[in-house]
Amino acid sequence: MSDITKSGGRRGSIAAAVTVVLLVVGGFLVAKSFSGTDAPPQPDAAQSAPSVTPAPSSSPPSPTSSPTSATGKTAAPSTADFGPIMGPSAPVSLKIPSIGVDTKGIVDLGLDKSGKLQAPTDFGRAGWYANGPTPGEFGPAVIGAHVDSKSGPAVFYRLGSLKKGATVSVARKDGSTARFVVDRVARYSKADFPTMTVYGDTKGRAELRLITCGGAFDQSTGHYVDNIVAFAHLTS
């Protein structure tokens, strides 16, 4: 009788210990899955639609800038009306206050053999396409950065939560700052990436593209299946 009670008691205390371990480990994992290592935010449909922006113009429309202006200094009809444009100067740092991005030491990026833009080797740095226009010049300047490393969030972890109208400022080597406003943020499948939309002609505006990864992570390739792209244009 006492033997049975004893062995029963021992089994009971082992079970109690196991219960505690299971509770602690299980609880930790559940908490961790809901905590700091949340999946990166993804843009919603409302952010991917183009915002209604006025036609490119170097100054706000005003009665005096109408084609019938009496000054006689109106441009020839075939001269396109481009927006503000800066001279060339490489980017050195990037600030996006609304999503807490403040990154220095922007590195040069090139293309790989297939023509794809290479990612920065350093998860803590953003990079720019150094053969393209510099941020502020006419055309699409491109800045890319990782969403995460193997262990946690990286520079563009929160890019997917960027909203239309947010400001982005790029400090440049010549001491000037190019200020952009976000037009839209979209997610595209890498398998069906809209190359022309992202890297093609910007029709008269100095624009900026911010690129990181999004969607599901494919364990077999070690890459995310989508890209998140923020489109912005120069305001000053």
Q: Interaction with another protein in 209-228: which residues (CB under 8 A)? A: 211-213, 216-217, 219, 222-224, 226-227
Q: Quote the DSSP letter at residue 13.
A: H
Residue 11 tokens, joined:
């089994």
Q: Return the range that interacts with another protein (CB under 8 A); candidates 28-36, 45-53, 91-99, 169-177.
A: 28-36
Among positions 160-189, residues that touch another protein (CB under 8 A) are 188
**Of 23-31, 59-67, 94-102, 168-176, which segment contacts another protein by CB under 8 A?**
23-31
Render 33-64 in DSSP notation, one character per residue. Answer: HHTTTPPPP---HHHHSPP--PPP-SS---GG
Q: Give the number of C-alpha atoms closer than 13 A to the C-alpha of residue 97, restricted to the C-beta side.
A: 7
Residue from 1, 52, 70, 196 binding another protein (CB under 8 A)? 196
Residues 58-77 that bind another protein (CB under 8 A): 75-76
Q: Which stretch binds another protein (CB under 8 A): 10-18, 43-51, 161-169, 172-180?
A: 10-18
| Residue 146 interacts with another protein (CB under 8 A): yes or no | yes
Binding window for another protein (CB under 8 A); candidates: 45-53, 62-70, 93-101, 126-134: 126-134
Q: Rounded to whole angstroms, how far apart are CA atoms 171 and 64?
A: 33
Using the rule CB under 8 A, is 80 a contact of another protein?
yes
151 binds another protein (CB under 8 A): yes
The Cα–Cα gap between 204 and 187 comes to: 24
d(CA 222, CA 60) in angstroms, rounded, equals: 47
Q: For the sheet containing 127-129, what is the strand order?
A: 101-104, 91-96, 167-172, 177-189, 223-234, 206-218, 139-144, 127-129, 107-109
Q: Does 207 bind another protein (CB under 8 A)?
A: no
34 binds another protein (CB under 8 A): yes
Q: CB-wise, 118 or 165, nearer to another protein?
A: 118
The answer to the question of residue 115 lying near another protein (CB under 8 A) is yes
Structure tokens at 99: 């999503």
Q: Does 114 bind another protein (CB under 8 A)?
A: yes
